[in-house]
Amino acid sequence: MNFKEQVTHEQLDAAYANYVGRNGYLLDLEFEAGFPISAIEKRKPNLWRYREALPVLYDADIVSFDEGFTPLLEVSFSNKKALIKQEQLFATGSYKDRGATVMMSHVNHLKIKKVVQDSSGNAGCAVAAYAARAGIACDIYVPEDTAEAKLAQMEWNGAKIIKIKGSREATAAAALKAASLHYYASHCYHPFFMHGTKTFAYEVCEQLGWKAPDALVLPAGNGTLLLGCHIGFHDLLKAGIIHQMPKLVAVQSANCAPLAKAFELKQTQPAAVTSLHTLAEGIAIAAPVRGAQMLSAVNESKGQFITVTEDEIIDALREMLGQGFYIEPTSAATIAGLKKYLLRSENETVVSLFSGHGLKSTEKLLKLRQL
């Protein structure tokens, strides 16, 4: 595997202040996770119950809202059932809080006073909230067309917003430039972020009675959750708690599917695509920086990629909202993918999620109501 460089905690802090690897390689953390099960089961129901598996050295540095341990709810889709993790129920309204609590705890440990970040939405909201909780200043670079509700959330949490004209990639480039002066708290590059999102895997495993599901249907934008699950289930395998890696099924919008295309062509790097408008803005990433790693994770798990059309996203959104769930349109893309997967699956335990809360997308949902 040549797309990443494995480093230890200490090497990471000493040599790579901004976590952007040399020669374009991305950094991953070498860390041995421990699972003292009987102690874990007695702790508070939040993600820090997996304390021995989280790479933050001192409890005093932890920046937390007592997040995590979200409900795993059974939902029916025609005559099939799946378990849906309620990841819309985090303090900032998406599972990005998993990554933010671990990454910002580490930033706090380093006594960093200001961070920069770039995001088209939920990652920015999460980093802004955790920076506020820790008293750390935060500049967030966003594409000009970012939803007003998400900007309001970041600004009220004290972040400074810098709007960048042009593509999502132009925003990332502006943030990378700023990162030469300030600490880059990036959800895509920073390896600690994935060591937060991996707690999704731990929770699913614990909620199933310390067993792995057969398959997970996950969103695939920058892959923070997908790669987190890859790390998390590997940790559980290595610890002997589970005995088989679940299949990772990754969902992309047909209008922006660089990885699904590469997978189909059996390529190891993301395919070059032009991104068309999609309701699933949260996963519309044309050039995911960890794309090769995402392809490798899906292949290794014997999983697959699924693409969903705009009509399928709308249908899934309508179906879920009609059942009383309130999720943002991006979340409905994953559910549309799940529905397709369930048609092909027999007698499997399948886990998926609601990735973001509908209250963040009121403007969009108001418009969609008129369709």
Ligand X SMILES: *Cc1c(COP(=O)(O)O)cnc(C)c1O
Contacting residues toward ligand X, per CB under 6 A: 94, 96, 122, 219-226, 282-283, 328, 330-331, 355-356
Of 139 and 328, nearer to ligand X (C-beta) is 328
DSSP string, 25-41: PEEEEE------HHHHH
CB of 193 to ligand X, least distance (A): 9
CB of 88 to ligand X, least distance (A): 8
Q: Can you spell out the DSSP letters for 64-115?
A: -SS-----EEEEEETTEEEEEE-GGGSTTSBTHHHHHHHHHHHHHHTT--EE
> With respect to ligand X, which residue has the nearer C-beta, 112 or 250?
250
User: How far, in Å, CA of 290 to CA of 304, rounded?
Assistant: 17
CB 253 → ligand X: shortest distance, Å? 10
Q: Whose Cβ is closer to ligand X: residue 35's or residue 331's?
A: 331
Q: What minimum distance in Å lies between the beta carbon of 144 and ligand X?
A: 19
Residue 219 to residue 305: CA distance in whole angstroms: 10
Distances in whole angstroms, Cα of residue 339 to Cα of each of 235, 251, 349: 29, 11, 14
Task: Indicate the residue among 112 and 328 with the shorter CB distance to ligand X.
Answer: 328
Nearest residue (CB) to ligand X, 108 versus 186? 186
Q: How far is the CB of 58 from ligand X (least distance, A)?
A: 28
Q: Which is nearer to ligand X, 55 or 282 (CB)?
A: 282
Identify the H or E element spanning 137: strand 137-143
Output 35 or 124, the one with its CB closest to ligand X: 124
What does residue 115 show for φ and ψ, rounded to 5 degrees? -125, 155
Task: Please report how close the Cβ of residue 87 comes to ligand X at its closest, in angstroms.
Answer: 8
Q: How far is the CB of 341 from ligand X (least distance, A)?
A: 16
Q: Which residues sit opposite 249 in a β-bridge? A: 217, 304
E strands of 178-261, at which residues?
183-184, 215-219, 247-253
Closest CA to 248 of 303, 305, 300: 303
Structure tokens at 2: 């040549």
Q: Are 128 and 154 in contact (CB under 8 A)?
A: yes
